[in-house]
């Protein structure tokens, strides 16, 4: 049973775009035992201390902003937005909670839950990225579509989704809150897991800032490229054999110098007469 109650929680309602509002804006008092969380909601981590603080506030002044729920086939209600308040109300020993009952489909439930969490800044970067990925893959939304729905730039959504390409050892730190979205972007700019581990260590153990992480990422990339170039330029057995053959043929030292774009052969000579001798050999070849 739900009891009708007058009024509307403007705070929560303002989080939902006009396009997803409907005329079912009545607030009901619904038993907490008749409500269950949404298993697909973007937020996966709940700070117990924050829930405790919220429950103490609820004990003092009650739930100021209704949660949003939808009716399920099993006659229970599923939370669309407001799981923290639901958890805190349970912790406070409340029996009922003010709620607005909506008739949202699965896509709209995900959108509203994501919008609420983003605007309340409750999501960590990993949870935000998972929310975008769900909208993209499950509901075929483009990055532009997602950006419009959550009032973010397309580049912000794209950068968030790139987080999911990071290796598991980085994602674990993001979930724990030790790596920020800015740190994650710096980590994503590195090509190898080996370099990512070096930068991650500095972020987690030495608590370097995002700017410092970006600078270190550039230095690591430059060093990696420099080492790679040196390895590529290192003479192989074939090059050495050719050098030896040409040295014997011309009777003077010959060096083959490999370059990134172009390479060259150097033939040493010590006088005009020596140069003429070498030119004669070249003409006969």
The percentage of residues in the chain with a pLDDT greater than 90, rounded to a whole number, is 28
Tell me what pLDDT residue 69 has: 92
Separation between Cα atoms, residue 260 and residue 244, nearest integer Å? 23
Q: 74 versus 160: which is more confidently predicted?
A: 160
Across the range 235-248, mean pLDDT stands at 79
Separation between Cα atoms, residue 163 and residue 94, nearest integer Å? 39
Across the range 47-51, mean pLDDT stands at 82
Across the range 58-77, mean pLDDT stands at 88
Q: How far is CA 114 from CA 37, 48, 109, 118, in A?
A: 14, 21, 8, 6
DSSP E strands, the chain: 3-5, 27-31, 35-36, 67-71, 77-81, 96-102, 254-257, 264-267
**Triad 135, 136, 142: Cα angle to 5°:** 115
User: Annotated catalytic residue: which of 36, 45, 83, 268?
Assistant: 83
Separation between Cα atoms, residue 106 and residue 119, nearest integer Å? 20
Closest residue by Cα to residue 27 from 96, 94, 104, 99: 99
Tell me what pLDDT residue 184 has: 94
DSSP letter at 63 equals: -
**Could you tell me whether strands 67-71 and 96-102 are parallel, antiparallel, or unpaired per DSSP bridges?**
parallel
Residues sharing a CB contact under 8 Å with residue 133, sequence separation 6 or more, in sequence order: 161, 164
Place of tokens 């006009």: 18
Residue 4 has pLDDT above 60, yes or no: no
Report helix, strand or coil for 149: helix
Place of tokens 């805190």: 88
- Residue 241 designated active-site: no
pLDDT digits (tens, 9 = 90+) for 144-184: 988 888 888 999 999 999 999 999 999 999 988 899 999 99
How confident is residue 234, by pLDDT bands cut at 50, 70 and 90? low
Q: Quick one: CATH architecture of 3-121? A: Alpha-Beta Complex (3.90)
**Could you tell me whether strands 77-81 and 3-5 are parallel, antiparallel, or unpaired per DSSP bridges?**
unpaired
């Amino acid at each position: 049973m739900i009891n009708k109650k007058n009024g509307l929680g403007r705070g929560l309602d303002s989080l939902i775009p006009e396009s997803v509002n409907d005329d079912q804006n009545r607030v009901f008092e619904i038993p907490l035992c008749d409500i269950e969380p949404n298993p697909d909601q973007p937020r996966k981590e709940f700070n117990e201390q924050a829930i405790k603080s919220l429950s103490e506030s609820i004990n003092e002044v009650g739930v100021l902003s209704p949660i949003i729920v939808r009716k399920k086939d099993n006659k229970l209600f599923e939370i669309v937005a407001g799981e923290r308040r639901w958890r805190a109300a349970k912790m406070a020993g409340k029996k009922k909670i003010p709620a607005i009952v909506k008739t949202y489909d699965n896509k709209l439930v995900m959108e509203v839950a994501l919008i609420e969490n983003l605007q309340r800044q409750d999501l960590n970067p990993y949870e935000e990225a998972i929310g975008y990925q769900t909208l993209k893959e499950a509901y075929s939304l483009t990055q532009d579509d997602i950006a419009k729905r959550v009032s973010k730039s397309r580049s912000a959504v794209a950068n968030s989704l790139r987080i999911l390409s990071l290796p598991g050892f980085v994602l674990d730190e993001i979930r724990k809150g030790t790596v920020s979205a800015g740190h994650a972007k710096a980590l994503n700019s590195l090509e190898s897991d080996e370099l990512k581990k070096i930068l991650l260590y500095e972020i987690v153990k030495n608590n370097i800032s995002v700017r410092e992480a970006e600078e270190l990422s550039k230095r690591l990339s430059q060093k990696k490229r420099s080492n790679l170039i040196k390895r590529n330029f290192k003479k192989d057995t074939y090059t050495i054999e050719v050098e030896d053959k040409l040295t014997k043929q011309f009777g003077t030292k010959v060096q083959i110098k490999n370059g990134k774009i172009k390479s060259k052969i150097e033939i040493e000579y010590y006088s005009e007469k020596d140069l003429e001798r070498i030119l004669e050999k070249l003409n006969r070849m």
